[in-house]
Amino acid sequence: MFNNSDYLSANIGIPIFSCRAKSVFETKIPTEISFYECIIDDEFFFFGKIEKYLPIIDEERTTFRTLLDGSRVIDEPIYKTDDDFFITRDKVFCEQLVVSQKFVDLCREEKLNINFYSCKGDLC
């Protein structure tokens, strides 16, 4: 049903990976992601808990929307970091997840069926 995808796009802020992707990541980047099994339409997948949190949002250049309660949500994120990582979340805006070129290269080398989108900022 999922066309052999190794990543499921979901609007929940948690990446969902296939068994094959889990196996690759556990072998190649074992400290970056923890996995929790889930079943979707009778198929096994894994929620990926990203273990690394870095200040990747450039708050000066990112645009925000202010909600009625006064809290801010990101409208258009701009990313920045000099840190070395494969996959990370922002320390403050934890729903923001970014992968590095190293992660993209790893997925391509292992022939994982994952689509990537470009971002704005120094990470791109």
Beta strand 87-90 pairing with 53-54? parallel
Segment 79-89 shows an average pLDDT of 89
Q: What percent of the chain has pLDDT over 70?
A: 93
DSSP the chain: --TT-SEE--TTSS-EEEHHHHHHHHHHSTTTEEEEEEEETTEEEEEEEE--EE--B-TTTSEEEE-TTS-EEEEE--B------SEEEESSSTT-EEE-HHHHHHHHHTT--------SBTT-
Interval 24-37: pLDDT, tens = 999 999 999 999 99
Is residue 84 within 8 A of residue 56, CB to CB? The reply is no
Interval 33-79: pLDDT, tens = 999 999 988 899 999 999 999 999 999 999 999 999 998 889 999 99
Q: What is the pLDDT of residue 54?
A: 94
Q: What is the pLDDT of residue 47?
A: 96
- Strand partners of residue 63: 76
Exposed, middle or buried: residue 73 (CB in 10 Å: 0-12, 13-18, 19+)? exposed
